[in-house]
Structure 1
Amino acid sequence: MIGLSHIVKQFGDNTVLKDVSVEIREGSVTALVGPSGGGKSTLLRCINLLEIPTSGTVRIGDDTLEFRPGHRVATKAIQQLRRQTGMVFQNFQLFPHRTAVENVMEGLVTVLKWPEAKARERAMALLDKVGMAHKVDAWPATLSGGQQQRVAIARALAPSPKVLLCDEPTSALDPELAQEVVDVLGQLAREGTTMVIATHDLRLASKIAHEVLFLEAGSVVEKGPANEVFGNPKHERTRRFIATITHQHEHGKGGEG
């Protein structure tokens, strides 16, 4: 379904991802966890090519793109691959001058050229799915952070992407509002939505992820089924990280993305 192989990403002299390979099955939820600066957001953004890998191969469905230093990949090929993904950002990124329903419709109408009535019908159905049917005509500024993020999830799902990518979807929210978002993502997971989530929210990761990748300093330290990585990590480094984050949450401090 999704394959990243031998992904290297450099910013100048700094190598942020070092030969990372991962396979993501259709219908599965993969959580990318690890300390700040470990590379999880960069890896997520390499899947939809918001960050262009320095080298390596990205595959989504039938589309495969190969990257190597000094070789430019055609913009059209990048857009074709990116269109198969939906992206949910840490800070929502809703259009402030569009209502909730207009935010969800926007890409369908402007990019996919759907008729307005069809786009509105799809948007209303998705807002209902994320528990926001009562706020379809609300402006983003009048919504709580949790509500804005749920609208953003509906918007990302609108074009029926093959995979939903979430970059720290709960980190800008306090625990109560974060729970609304965890519940929605959990429901999507049960329905078989393929998701990759970069997060430091271990509650979110342990509740809905099937697979976990623990990244540190640009390398995959450990990967495996979520219950094994969280319940019985093989590597001392993973154990220490999970213990630290768990301790922070128990004492009321959120982790940092």
Structure 2
Amino acid sequence: MIAVENIHKSFNGAEVLKGVSLTVPEGSVTALIGPSGSGKSTLLRCVNLLETPQSGRVRIDGAVVDFEPGRKVDRADVLALRRKTGMVFQNFQLFPHLTALENVMEGLLTVLKWSRQDARRRATELLDKVGMSDKADAWPANLSGGQQQRVAIARALAPSPKVLLCDEPTSALDPQLAGEVVEVLAQLAREGTTMLMATHDLRLASTIASNVLFLDGGNIVESGPSAQVFGSPVDPRTKRFVSSLASVSIGQG
């Protein structure tokens, strides 16, 4: 389970997150939606501490890190929490000098110190899982955006994290390639992978998210089951945003 409590985060004096709290139950998928600048990507990065909150608490499974102004956080606690997460980025962030297989193996070898044989076996299994086994020896430059993102998902899953964090995983892709990634993430959701994702992609959020949180101005404005938030949102800001997303999706279809 992920529990984020009263997270505050500012950049250069501008408060981006204003005391945000949320819970992601184990085995569920929660989507963070909202306009650009609403704080959803910052919130996601605070969960695995790529960004350090000024105050609040982050808990993943048994790992807990508390933040207070002026108090230095123990690096061991940060690493313990971060190891429970896998991160999928908008721009893939594959190592260009490594093959698809080597990209998935890299963290297992360098961080977890697995043997090369075990890391290769695990990476091969995961590339098969995301439909990329036939591209194991390909360089990232020779893969489409959708293929690169599927390799990135396999890499994030390699250490068996407690939660998969996805930051706009389809936004750099055209609708057809995005569909490949949506299907992979949907399959992971069906298998019970816990996920927290920030997305503008209505198809992605409505297909796989069990719960949706709408952020605006650094606050959670509305939250609830996916069908409720997309089908009958209560807050006027959510209604406007969902309507704008739906019109874009129709235009792309």
Q: Match for 1:159: what amino acid? A: P
Look up the match of 1:242: 242
Q: Which moved more, 1:235-244 or 1:143-152?
A: 235-244
Aligned to 1:157: 157
Aligned letter for 1:13?
G
Give the superposition deviation at 1:76: 1.6
Residue 48 of structure 1 aligns with which residue? 48
Please tell me the residue identity of whatever aligns with 1:17: L
Find the counterpart in structure 2 of residue 5 from structure 1.
Answer: 5
Aligned to 2:133: 133
Correspondence list, 1:68-83, <5 A: 68-83=68-83
Instruction: Name the structure 1 match of 2:106.
Output: 106
Structure 2 residue ranges without an equivalent (≥5): none
Q: Name the SS of the counterpart of 1:251 in structure 2.
A: helix
Distance 1:67 1:236 in 2: 33
CA distance in 1, matches of 2:81, 2:251: 42
Alignment of 1:15-54 (within 5 A): 15-54=15-54
- Equivalent in the alignment of 1:205: 205
Q: Is the 8 A contact 2:31 2:212 kept in 1?
A: yes
Q: Does structure 1 conserve the Cα–Cα contact (< 8 Å) formed by 2:64 and 2:77?
A: no
Distance in 2 (CA, whole Å) between partners of 1:22 and 1:218 is: 13
- 1:88-110 deviation per Cα after TM superposition (whole angstroms, max 9, x unaligned): 00000000000000000000011
TM-score by length of 1: 0.97
Superposed CA offset, 1:173-218 (max 9, x none): 0000000000000000000000001000011000000010000010
Q: What amino acid maps onto 2:165 in structure 1?
A: L
Letter in 2 for 1:241: F
Q: Secondary structure at the match of 2:117?
A: helix
Q: In structure 2, what residue type is equivalent to 1:240?
A: R
SS at match of 1:8: strand
Identical amino acids, percent of aligned pairs? 66
Distance 1:65 1:172 in 2: 32
Alignment of 1:164-175 (within 5 A): 164-175=164-175
Superposed displacement of residue 68, structure 1: 1.0
Q: Which amino acid aligns with 2:137?
A: D
Number of aligned residue pairs: give it.
253
Runs of 4 or more consecutive aligned structure 1 residues displaced over 6 Å after TM superposition: none
CA distance in 1, matches of 2:252, 2:28: 30
Shift of 1:74: 1.2
In the alignment, the residues of structure 1 paired with residue 244 and residue 127 of structure 2 have an alpha-carbon distance, to the nearest angstrom, of 36
TM-score by length of 2: 0.99
Look up the equivalent residue of 1:37 and give its one-letter code.
G
Is 2:222–2:238's contact at 8 Å kept on the other side of the alignment?
A: yes
Q: Which residue of 2 aligns with 1:121?
A: 121
1:251 shift after superposition: 2.3
